[in-house]
Chain A
Amino acid sequence: MYDFAYHKPSTVADAVKLLADPDAKAISGGHTLLPALKHRLNKPTALVDLSGIAELRGIRREGNAVVIGALAKHAEVAASAEVAAAIPALAFMADHIGDVQVRNRGTIGGSVSNNDPAADYPAAVLGLGATIRTSKREIAADDFFLGMFTTALEPDEILTAISFPIPEKAGYAKMRNPASRYVMAGAFVSKGPQGVRVAITGAGPCVFRQADMEAALAANWSADAVAGIKQAPDDLNSDIHGSAEYRAHLVTVMAKRAVANAG
């Protein structure tokens, strides 16, 4: 790793000021950023550690939503009684990210801000129609994920919390790469205040909604309803771990399993 200055602000306002430097980068759990820095894929002159900012913590119920602070670690979301009671599929998803040690360090804010095409959280955020709260504004999930590793966040804008509307039903299923544990294809399905939503992660360059499956599930909420729907492989990822055709096939299988998991 190249060396960098390290800052640990205690307020969002101070963090935003430090991040006004275009060569500064935010860090929380660091389980994506530090490996990237070791490979010298990135050369920030300063890291701004957000983990000391109290206002980014906490998991709470706000009316018909569960609001999770950006610094909530995957293990905290997995173990949260609040999340388990309101959105068990979200607790299940958090409990199956990476491995124990990744879940002890990785945060929801980091995962969603990074928008790795093979991450789990973007599927839950899009699949539940969550709202992203930032240091400047609120952004709907549909407007947040713009492309591979790209979101609507501006350089000096920090994700502060995510508000998940409580669904009637929700389920998640994924096929993991057995070595990296990243998602090959995963589906997060939900039925709730925003209608039926099906979000697919891992398969394409960015999480996306599967409109055909949403229409089928809106008419008939059952695993059988999506069993015959084929995902086109055209824009999906193809690499040493699996072809686009393989991932397209997995999308249907994972959507079926996600609906079955949702009950």
Chain B
Amino acid sequence: MPHVTLTVNGKSHTAEVEGRTLLVELLRETLRLTGTHIGCDTSQCGACVVHVNGDSVKSCTTLALAADGASVTTIEGLAAADGTLHPMQEAFREYHALQCGFCTPGMVMSAIDLVQKNPQGLSEQEIREGLEGNLCRCTGYHNIVKAIAAAQDVMHGKRSEIARAAE
């Protein structure tokens, strides 16, 4: 069987895969990184979003072999070694941007890519449009949008910590 070598969250891995093995299967089943979820499996819901070479992609619609040589970041790779959360994770917690939490890993990964690619800052409408590829079936979008708006200020260095949510 063919081999794939890739860097996941800064660590190099080599694994034996089939031609048809999806990136999400490699992450979850071989590397046991189960933070990345499989929701619809039809590239619509975004629960499986990870970063491949800096771009958010749906790992349920990417072949593992197509990621050979790539650098992949998953939800497990965001927090610092001492457990300090990424500003986006911290904002999701502060703004209660989740209900059941199933969509959250994909939402966080999409949100980080969105904020990083828009250093000029995003309006509420632009955040909503940027999340078109992520579905929250609890329909908890309002707080997700608020969290991303708060996180972008910290990620762009405009604030040193996440603005507190209104009581």
Contacts and interface: CB of A to CB of B under 8 A. Distances in A.
Interface of A: 1-6, 8, 27, 30-31, 34-35, 37-38, 46-47, 49, 51, 75, 98-102, 104-105, 179-181
B131 to A, nearest CB: 8
Given A100-B132, A104-B56, A105-B61, A35 B19 contact: no
Given A27-B66, A75-B55, 9 more contacts: A3-B18, A3-B20, A4-B19, A6-B65, A8-B65, A38-B41, A98-B133, A101-B49, A104-B56
A70 B114 CA distance: 25
Nearest to A51: B66
A45 to B, nearest CB: 10
B2 A6 contact: yes
26 contacts: A3-B18, A3-B20, A5-B19, A27-B66, A30-B63, A31-B58, A34-B61, A34-B62, A34-B63, A35-B43, A37-B20, A47-B19, A49-B65, A100-B110, A100-B130, A100-B133, A101-B43, A101-B46, A101-B56, A101-B58, A101-B110, A102-B58, A104-B55, A104-B56, A105-B58, A105-B61
At the interface, is chain A mostly helix, strand, loop or mixed? Answer: mixed
A106 B71 CA distance: 19
Contacts of B19: 3-6, 46-47
Nearest to B59: A101
A5 B1 CA distance: 10
Contacts of B41: 38
Nearest to B133: A99
B3 to A, nearest CB: 11
A100 B114 CA distance: 9
B42 interface: yes
A31 B49 CA distance: 14
Contacts of B61: 30-31, 34-35, 105
B20 A4 contact: yes
A153 B20 CA distance: 26
A47 B58 CA distance: 19
Interface in B46-81: 46, 49, 55-58, 61-63, 65-66, 68
Contacts of A35: 42-43, 61
Contacts of A4: 19-20
A3 B46 CA distance: 24
B132 A181 contact: yes
A180 B110 CA distance: 18
B39 to A, nearest CB: 13
